[in-house]
Amino acid sequence: MTRVKRGYIARRRRTKIRVFGSTFQGAHSRLTRTIAQQKIRALVSTHRDRDRKKRDFRRLWITRLNGTIRQLEEYYYYYNFYYYNFDIYLNSNILINNYSKLIHNLHKRQLLFNRKILVRLAEADAYSLLCILHACEMQSKESPEIF
């Protein structure tokens, strides 16, 4: 049987694998077989965590929004009742003491908001978030059609 001389093909394949594993530590960056196994694990983790990242960010937004809503509710009940006697926020059905009731009321009024944008707005200026939600409530009471 004649000898097959492949030249640089195997070396080129190993080099390609080593370039991928150059950021790994220890034997995972030096031994070809170990690099190949670690490469498979890295790609699997990347694929899995792409979906997990979306899930985690949504959970984070919901948690932040819930905290902001609870703080706003406490602040405005105290501030408006004791200082100005405004009933505008006390009678508001959209300002509820937690996240789930807020989202439920928004869906009832067919107001669909992106949670990410709501959180960005709450971080920048919580008062403007409250004003927007209150304005949406007033608008939905005036014109109940979908907008």
Query: Using one digit for the tens of pLDDT, what is the confidence trace for 40-57?
Result: 999 999 999 999 999 999
Q: How many CB atoms lie within 10 A of CB 134?
A: 16
Which pair of structure tokens corresponds to residue 56? 């985690």
Q: What is the mean pLDDT of residues 65-85?
A: 70
pLDDT score recorded for residue 19: 94
State how far the Cα of 118 lies from the Cα of 131, in Å rounded to an integer: 12
Pick from 21-25, 95-99, 118-122, 127-131: least confident: 95-99
Closest by CA position to 63, among listed 8, 122, 110:
122
CB 110 within 8 A of CB 140: yes
Q: Fill in the amino acid letter for 62.
A: I
pLDDT tens digit sequence for 90-108 = 455 445 678 887 788 777 7
State how far the Cα of 62 lies from the Cα of 143, in Å rounded to an integer: 29
Please state, rounded to an integer, the average pLDDT across all residues of the chain. Answer: 80
Q: Say whether pTM exceeds 0.85.
A: no
